[in-house]
Amino acid sequence: MLDTRIVSAGIDYITATMPHTNPNVLDWYSRCIQYIETIARDGNETVSTRRNGYEGIAVGGSFCGVRDDGYMVNISGERAQAGFDIVYRNQPNVSRIDVQCTYRGGTKDASTAISAQRSVAEANKKLSSKAQREAVLMTSLRGGATCYVCSKKSEQFARIYDKEKESAEDRYKDCWRYEVQLKNRLATNTATLFRLSEYAQPNQAAVFVRQWLRKRGVSVPWNAEAELYALPSDTNTPSDVESRLRWLREQVRPALRRLIKLGLRDSILEALDLQEKNGGE
């Protein structure tokens, strides 16, 4: 069950591309365009524009476009959470994905961001000089504060910031946002993780953000019932062993959990030839 003080959690930004050579590309792009049109129907202005060499339309912070080698779709903000299943249909390449958890109950000053920076510094004491992580604290004249965990130039980093001050919206009163941004292979791996998860996207996001920050020494104020999956890693050439372990973790484990809940544990062991044997074998 999701912590009741979590105001929102889920995918907050996704950029995906698909080449012309993919047999599913036209169906994928058509569905994405239809989703973009729902944003326009909410009163957002549609503008013809160009991004990263793609010619297309932008509306409400989102974009669909085409160039010689394929198509690109970008969905941002709350629309990304609802549109994730559409954008990740047919497994496109994901070049960026942001996962967020917004929690009500944080401090009304900069101490949450300051504490995050100090936690990273404390965790760095256990690491070699080359493995240590950056944590940058920024404050604004409006009273807001942000801690960036890891370098913004890296393939993955997090922002912890005062959402009330950043948005100036009443619905985010007393809220802090914890947001992880991933790029390239890590983004694609994370999208796959969310697609295969047996848990609802908000639950998966809350645990994902919690795990990512905890690995870097930062505690979050919400609890998680379980650590669902290992965080995706970026390996240039995964070994056969790593690929098999990932397959077990991401595809087999969720299926086994469902079968065990149905009372089929013994049947699973028998099917895998893992049942206990007599005679010390």
Closest CA to 104 of 148, 164, 24, 38: 164
Instruction: Going residue by residue through the chain, which has 281 residues, state the pLDDT in tens, using 9 for 90 and above.
Output: 788 999 999 999 999 999 999 999 999 999 999 999 999 998 889 999 999 999 999 999 999 999 999 999 999 999 999 999 999 998 899 999 999 999 998 777 899 999 999 999 999 999 999 999 999 999 887 778 999 999 999 999 999 999 999 998 999 999 999 999 999 999 999 999 999 888 899 999 999 999 999 999 999 999 876 665 557 765 444 455 656 776 777 667 777 887 787 777 777 777 776 655 444 44
Q: Residue 154: its pLDDT value, please?
A: 92
First to last CA, the chain: 42
Amino acid identity for residue 178 in this structure: Y
Helix, strand, coil distribution of the chain in percent, nearest 5: 40, 25, 35
118-121 contacts at long range (C-beta below 8 A, 24 or more positions apart): 119/217, 119/218, 119/219, 120/149, 120/216, 120/217, 120/218
The sign of the CA dihedral 203, 205, 208, 211 is: negative
**pLDDT at site 266:** 74
Instruction: Report the candidate in 101, 48, 111 with the shortest Cα–Cα distance to residue 224.
Output: 101
Element (H, E) at 1: none
Beta strands in 1-109, from DSSP E residues, in sequence order? 6-19, 46-51, 54-59, 62-67, 70-76, 93-104
| Residues 201, 164, 63: CA angle, nearest 5 degrees | 55
**Can you give the pLDDT at residue 42?**
87
Which residues does 5 contact at the CB level (< 8 Å), separation at least 6? 103, 104, 105, 221, 222
Beta carbons of 197 and 215 less than 8 angstroms apart: no
| pTM for the model | 0.80
